[in-house]
Chain A
Protein backbone atom coordinates (compact mmCIF):
# COMPACT_ATOMS: atom_id res chain seq x y z
CA UNK A 1 0.00 0.00 0.00
CA UNK A 2 1.18 3.50 -0.69
CA UNK A 3 1.56 6.23 1.90
CA UNK A 4 2.43 9.91 1.79
CA UNK A 5 4.45 11.98 4.22
CA UNK A 6 4.51 15.76 4.30
CA UNK A 7 7.33 17.10 6.40
CA UNK A 8 6.02 20.50 7.36
CA UNK A 9 2.86 20.89 9.36
CA UNK A 10 2.70 24.68 9.32
CA UNK A 11 4.82 27.13 7.39
CA UNK A 12 4.72 30.88 7.99
CA UNK A 13 6.47 33.25 5.62
CA UNK A 14 6.35 36.78 4.28
CA UNK A 15 5.21 37.89 0.87
CA UNK A 16 7.85 37.52 -1.85
CA UNK A 17 9.62 34.77 0.08
CA UNK A 18 10.27 31.46 -1.63
CA UNK A 19 8.29 28.40 -0.66
CA UNK A 20 9.22 24.75 -0.72
CA UNK A 21 7.01 22.02 0.72
CA UNK A 22 8.35 18.53 1.10
CA UNK A 23 6.49 15.39 0.11
CA UNK A 24 7.73 11.81 0.21
CA UNK A 25 5.81 8.72 -0.68
CA UNK A 26 6.36 5.06 -0.11
CA UNK A 27 5.51 2.71 -2.93
CA UNK A 28 7.82 0.65 -5.07
CA UNK A 29 5.91 0.76 -8.33
CA UNK A 30 4.88 3.40 -10.81
CA UNK A 31 2.88 6.24 -9.31
CA UNK A 32 0.89 9.29 -10.25
CA UNK A 33 1.58 12.31 -8.07
CA UNK A 34 -0.55 15.32 -7.27
CA UNK A 35 -0.56 18.51 -5.29
CA UNK A 36 -3.93 19.88 -4.23
CA UNK A 37 -4.62 23.23 -2.58
CA UNK A 38 -7.44 24.11 -0.23
CA UNK A 39 -8.10 27.82 0.30
CA UNK A 40 -9.84 28.78 3.54
CA UNK A 41 -13.42 27.55 3.52
CA UNK A 42 -13.17 25.99 0.08
CA UNK A 43 -12.84 22.54 -1.42
CA UNK A 44 -9.65 21.01 -2.73
CA UNK A 45 -8.44 22.08 -6.14
CA UNK A 46 -5.77 20.51 -8.29
CA UNK A 47 -2.55 22.54 -8.33
CA UNK A 48 -0.46 20.25 -10.52
CA UNK A 49 0.10 16.61 -11.35
CA UNK A 50 2.83 14.30 -12.59
CA UNK A 51 2.29 11.11 -14.57
CA UNK A 52 5.33 10.69 -16.77
CA UNK A 53 7.90 12.58 -18.80
CA UNK A 54 9.65 15.74 -17.61
CA UNK A 55 10.06 15.39 -13.83
CA UNK A 56 9.70 19.16 -13.41
CA UNK A 57 6.01 19.92 -13.55
CA UNK A 58 4.53 23.38 -13.76
CA UNK A 59 1.10 24.06 -12.35
CA UNK A 60 -1.25 26.95 -11.87
CA UNK A 61 -0.47 30.20 -10.04
CA UNK A 62 3.29 29.91 -10.51
CA UNK A 63 3.72 26.65 -8.63
CA UNK A 64 5.98 23.87 -9.77
CA UNK A 65 7.02 20.49 -8.42
CA UNK A 66 9.92 18.19 -9.07
CA UNK A 67 9.65 14.42 -9.07
CA UNK A 68 12.86 12.75 -7.90
CA UNK A 69 12.30 9.05 -8.30
CA UNK A 70 15.42 7.98 -6.43
CA UNK A 71 14.28 9.93 -3.39
CA UNK A 72 10.58 9.07 -3.69
CA UNK A 73 9.93 12.78 -3.44
CA UNK A 74 7.64 15.30 -5.09
CA UNK A 75 8.40 18.67 -3.53
CA UNK A 76 6.32 21.73 -4.30
CA UNK A 77 7.94 25.11 -4.93
CA UNK A 78 7.05 28.69 -5.63
CA UNK A 79 9.77 31.33 -6.06
CA UNK A 80 7.79 34.25 -4.65
CA UNK A 81 4.61 33.78 -2.64
CA UNK A 82 1.69 36.15 -2.32
CA UNK A 83 -0.75 36.71 0.50
CA UNK A 84 -3.36 34.88 -1.59
CA UNK A 85 -1.28 31.69 -1.40
CA UNK A 86 -2.37 31.28 2.21
CA UNK A 87 -3.97 27.84 2.14
CA UNK A 88 -3.54 24.21 3.04
CA UNK A 89 -1.54 22.11 0.62
CA UNK A 90 -1.92 18.37 0.19
CA UNK A 91 0.35 15.96 -1.60
CA UNK A 92 -1.34 12.84 -2.97
CA UNK A 93 -0.25 9.69 -4.72
CA UNK A 94 -1.87 6.76 -6.43
CA UNK A 95 -0.28 3.67 -7.78
CA UNK A 96 -0.71 3.21 -11.50
CA UNK A 97 -2.00 -0.28 -10.81
CA UNK A 98 -4.54 0.99 -8.23
CA UNK A 99 -5.83 4.22 -9.68
CA UNK A 100 -8.95 4.11 -7.56
CA UNK A 101 -6.95 4.58 -4.34
CA UNK A 102 -5.60 8.08 -3.92
CA UNK A 103 -3.66 8.52 -0.69
CA UNK A 104 -3.21 11.98 0.80
CA UNK A 105 -0.59 13.39 3.08
CA UNK A 106 -1.60 15.11 6.31
CA UNK A 107 -1.35 18.53 4.68
CA UNK A 108 0.77 21.63 5.21
CA UNK A 109 -0.81 24.89 6.28
CA UNK A 110 0.90 27.84 4.65
CA UNK A 111 0.38 31.29 6.09
CA UNK A 112 1.72 34.22 4.09
CA UNK A 113 2.03 37.47 5.97
CA UNK A 114 1.61 40.71 4.05
Chain B
Protein backbone atom coordinates (compact mmCIF):
# COMPACT_ATOMS: atom_id res chain seq x y z
CA UNK B 1 0.00 0.00 0.00
CA UNK B 2 0.95 3.64 -0.17
CA UNK B 3 0.88 6.13 2.69
CA UNK B 4 2.00 9.73 2.50
CA UNK B 5 1.86 12.03 5.53
CA UNK B 6 2.28 15.76 5.73
CA UNK B 7 1.00 18.37 8.19
CA UNK B 8 -2.47 19.70 7.46
CA UNK B 9 -1.78 23.37 8.06
CA UNK B 10 1.12 25.73 8.71
CA UNK B 11 1.42 29.46 9.25
CA UNK B 12 4.52 31.54 8.61
CA UNK B 13 5.47 35.22 8.43
CA UNK B 14 6.26 37.15 5.27
CA UNK B 15 10.02 37.18 4.65
CA UNK B 16 10.65 34.13 6.83
CA UNK B 17 11.67 30.57 5.96
CA UNK B 18 9.29 27.61 6.27
CA UNK B 19 9.91 23.87 5.98
CA UNK B 20 7.09 21.53 4.99
CA UNK B 21 7.79 17.90 5.82
CA UNK B 22 6.56 14.77 4.09
CA UNK B 23 7.02 11.15 5.09
CA UNK B 24 6.06 8.22 2.93
CA UNK B 25 5.71 4.46 3.04
CA UNK B 26 5.26 2.97 -0.40
CA UNK B 27 5.71 -0.45 -1.94
CA UNK B 28 8.40 0.95 -4.24
CA UNK B 29 10.06 4.28 -4.95
CA UNK B 30 10.88 6.03 -8.17
CA UNK B 31 10.71 9.70 -7.35
CA UNK B 32 9.18 12.30 -5.05
CA UNK B 33 7.41 15.38 -6.33
CA UNK B 34 6.11 18.62 -4.86
CA UNK B 35 3.19 20.49 -6.33
CA UNK B 36 1.72 23.88 -5.39
CA UNK B 37 -2.03 24.48 -5.45
CA UNK B 38 -3.59 27.88 -4.88
CA UNK B 39 -7.16 27.90 -3.62
CA UNK B 40 -9.62 27.15 -6.39
CA UNK B 41 -6.89 26.37 -8.89
CA UNK B 42 -5.11 23.36 -10.32
CA UNK B 43 -1.92 21.89 -8.85
CA UNK B 44 1.29 22.99 -10.58
CA UNK B 45 4.63 21.20 -10.57
CA UNK B 46 7.33 22.58 -8.28
CA UNK B 47 10.13 20.05 -7.90
CA UNK B 48 11.32 16.50 -8.33
CA UNK B 49 13.80 14.39 -6.33
CA UNK B 50 14.86 10.86 -7.13
CA UNK B 51 18.30 10.80 -5.47
CA UNK B 52 19.14 11.75 -1.90
CA UNK B 53 20.03 15.33 -1.27
CA UNK B 54 18.90 18.87 -1.85
CA UNK B 55 17.55 20.29 -5.11
CA UNK B 56 17.48 24.08 -5.20
CA UNK B 57 15.33 26.15 -7.50
CA UNK B 58 15.28 29.82 -6.64
CA UNK B 59 13.45 30.46 -3.37
CA UNK B 60 12.28 26.85 -3.25
CA UNK B 61 14.38 23.81 -2.34
CA UNK B 62 13.41 20.18 -1.89
CA UNK B 63 15.27 17.53 0.07
CA UNK B 64 15.02 13.75 -0.05
CA UNK B 65 16.24 10.91 2.17
CA UNK B 66 15.21 7.60 0.66
CA UNK B 67 16.45 5.54 3.62
CA UNK B 68 14.22 7.53 5.96
CA UNK B 69 11.25 7.83 3.62
CA UNK B 70 11.40 11.57 4.18
CA UNK B 71 11.31 14.75 2.16
CA UNK B 72 10.89 18.42 2.86
CA UNK B 73 10.10 21.51 0.85
CA UNK B 74 11.90 24.65 1.98
CA UNK B 75 10.50 28.04 1.05
CA UNK B 76 12.72 31.07 1.64
CA UNK B 77 11.90 34.79 1.70
CA UNK B 78 8.23 34.02 1.99
CA UNK B 79 5.82 36.18 0.05
CA UNK B 80 2.07 36.54 0.47
CA UNK B 81 1.58 34.84 -2.88
CA UNK B 82 3.15 31.67 -1.43
CA UNK B 83 -0.06 31.11 0.54
CA UNK B 84 -1.27 27.86 -1.01
CA UNK B 85 -1.47 24.12 -0.45
CA UNK B 86 1.69 22.12 -1.04
CA UNK B 87 1.20 18.54 -2.15
CA UNK B 88 3.80 15.83 -1.72
CA UNK B 89 3.53 12.99 -4.25
CA UNK B 90 5.39 9.73 -4.77
CA UNK B 91 5.85 7.60 -7.84
CA UNK B 92 6.20 4.04 -6.64
CA UNK B 93 7.24 2.30 -9.83
CA UNK B 94 9.45 2.91 -12.82
CA UNK B 95 8.16 4.40 -16.03
CA UNK B 96 5.46 7.00 -16.21
CA UNK B 97 3.30 5.37 -13.56
CA UNK B 98 0.83 7.62 -11.77
CA UNK B 99 1.70 9.74 -8.79
CA UNK B 100 0.16 9.08 -5.37
CA UNK B 101 -0.51 12.36 -3.62
CA UNK B 102 -0.56 13.29 0.04
CA UNK B 103 -3.49 15.36 1.28
CA UNK B 104 -1.46 18.53 1.15
CA UNK B 105 -0.26 21.16 3.62
CA UNK B 106 -2.16 24.44 3.60
CA UNK B 107 0.36 27.25 4.15
CA UNK B 108 -0.80 30.68 5.25
CA UNK B 109 1.70 33.52 4.97
CA UNK B 110 0.88 36.44 7.27
CA UNK B 111 2.26 39.95 7.39
Whether A and B are associated in the same complex: the answer reads no
